[in-house]
């Protein structure tokens, strides 16, 4: 027998529909890489997601179909196959998804060997009564469902970046433990300044959220995580309320940036609650950024200007179809797709300069 979530929760698990006073135009919001990669095909993530929603597909099915384009494309080194590996040279991936109308969610953390973690997260949501599976357990769960599990998800490009990072830490990679963390960060920052790594990909992620004509909201976040992270490190991408949150009555929020700071503040859920209280998507996002800054007191995380030494961005879609992108620093952007086509939205930055200036 094929188990699904109805088997566990019963046929009454779906939430009642929320009626809107006026029709909503279907819309999809994504991080910028959602309109950059095609994996050899003719559609980007946002194009495929919008086409699915427009023809009446389940919103989450459409979004995941789009996100897998990026996960499978070896040219996108921020997610999936060819994502920047951890400090041991192993690609470990995080993902989560949320289905607004059903009030369902699923995630995977530190999963290895599976190119499409968003599909595994969706399977956790649909076929278990759990929200999150991690590490070896997540990989073996995927294997039992027939996912292809590979020994290594590195590409020549991701492996070359890893080796360059190792060289910049120390040729022999034997450092005083007290100095090692700072040396690793300095190596990463120098590679960003040298143009080897996109600062937006250092905290690599794709976020994709959408709403259909009935006002049903869903969201997906998939990430290879912090570049050259400690093995096993799980950021905010897999964690409900931090890297992703969807409330079918309010909106959907996804994030990119330093996951640890976002986890401490549970910013995605916070933004939804500020919107529920009447804030606009942009104002709610800016409040969340200022809250994270106020909670950041560790001196190693603050630059010489007194602003965060890391990036953080939020991508916000309301139930009515309003969108906003906000960030600590300029450069972040999202793409929006609706019946009028695709447009780019620059994130409103609250601090000047860049985190490593």
- The CATH number for 119's domain is 3.60.20.30
**Prediction pTM value:** 0.86
Report the first-to-last Cα separation within the chain, whole angstroms. 57
Phi, then psi, of 324 in degrees rounded to 5? -155, 150
Domain that includes residue 212, residue range: 29-349
Examine residue 354 and state whether it is found in any structural domain, yes or no.
no
Examine residue 18 and state whether it is found in any structural domain, yes or no.
no
Examine residue 2 and state whether it is found in any structural domain, yes or no.
no
Give whole-number Cα distances, 144 to 126, 140, 141, 159, in Å: 15, 6, 5, 29
Asked whether the beta carbons of 100 and 170 are under 8 A apart, the reply is no
Examine residue 14 and state whether it is found in any structural domain, yes or no.
no
What is the chain's pLDDT, residue by residue, as a tens digit (357 residues)? 344 554 334 333 444 334 444 558 999 999 999 999 999 999 999 999 999 999 999 999 999 999 999 999 999 999 999 999 999 999 999 999 999 999 999 999 999 999 999 999 999 999 999 999 999 999 999 999 999 999 999 999 999 889 888 878 765 443 455 555 666 666 666 666 666 555 554 556 899 999 999 999 999 999 998 888 889 999 999 999 999 999 999 999 999 999 999 999 999 999 999 999 999 999 999 999 999 999 999 998 999 999 999 999 999 999 999 999 999 999 999 999 999 999 999 999 999 999 887
Examine residue 35 and state whether it is found in any structural domain, yes or no.
yes
Examine residue 13 and state whether it is found in any structural domain, yes or no.
no
Asked whether the beta carbons of 170 and 143 are under 8 A apart, the reply is no
Examine residue 10 and state whether it is found in any structural domain, yes or no.
no
Q: Number of folded domains in the chain?
A: 1
Examine residue 141 and state whether it is found in any structural domain, yes or no.
yes
């Amino acid at each position: 027998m094929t188990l699904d979530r109805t088997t566990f929760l019963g046929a009454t698990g779906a939430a009642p529909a929320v009626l809107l006073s006026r029709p909503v135009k279907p819309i999809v919001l994504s991080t910028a890489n959602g309109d950059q990669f095609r994996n050899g095909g003719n559609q980007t993530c946002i194009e495929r997601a919008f086409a699915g929603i427009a023809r009446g597909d389940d919103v989450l099915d459409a979004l995941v179909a789009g996100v897998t384009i990026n996960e499978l494309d070896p040219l996108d080194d921020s997610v999936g196959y060819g994502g920047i590996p951890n400090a041991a040279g192993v690609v470990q991936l995080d993902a989560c998804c949320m289905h607004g109308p059903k009030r369902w969610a699923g995630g995977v953390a530190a999963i290895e060997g599976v190119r499409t973690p968003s599909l595994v997260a969706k399977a956790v949501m649909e076929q278990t009564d759990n929200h999150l599976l991690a590490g070896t357990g997540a990989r073996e769960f995927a294997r039992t469902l027939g996912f292809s599990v590979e020994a290594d998800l590195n590409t020549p490009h991701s492996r070359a970046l890893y080796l360059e990072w190792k060289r910049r830490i120390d040729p022999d990679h034997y450092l005083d433990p007290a100095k090692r963390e700072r040396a690793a960060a300095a190596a990463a920052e120098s590679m960003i300044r040298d143009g080897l790594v996109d600062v937006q990909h250092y905290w690599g992620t794709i976020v994709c959220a959408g709403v259909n004509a009935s006002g049903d909201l869903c969201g997906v976040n998939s990430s290879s995580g912090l570049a050259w992270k400690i093995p096993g490190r799980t950021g905010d991408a897999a964690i409900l309320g931090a890297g992703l949150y969807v409330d079918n009555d309010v909106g959907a929020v996804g994030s990119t940036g330093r996951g640890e700071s976002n986890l401490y503040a549970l910013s995605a859920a916070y933004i939804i609650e500020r919107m529920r209280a009447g804030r606009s998507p942009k104002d709610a996002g800016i409040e969340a950024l200022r809250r994270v800054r106020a909670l950041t007191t560790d001196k190693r995380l603050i630059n010489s200007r007194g602003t965060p030494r890391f990036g953080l961005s939020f991508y916000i879609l309301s139930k009515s179809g309003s969108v906003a992108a906000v960030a600590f620093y300029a450069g972040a952007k999202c793409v929006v797709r609706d019946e009028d086509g695709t447009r780019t939205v620059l994130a409103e930055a609250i601090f000047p300069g860049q985190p490593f200036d």
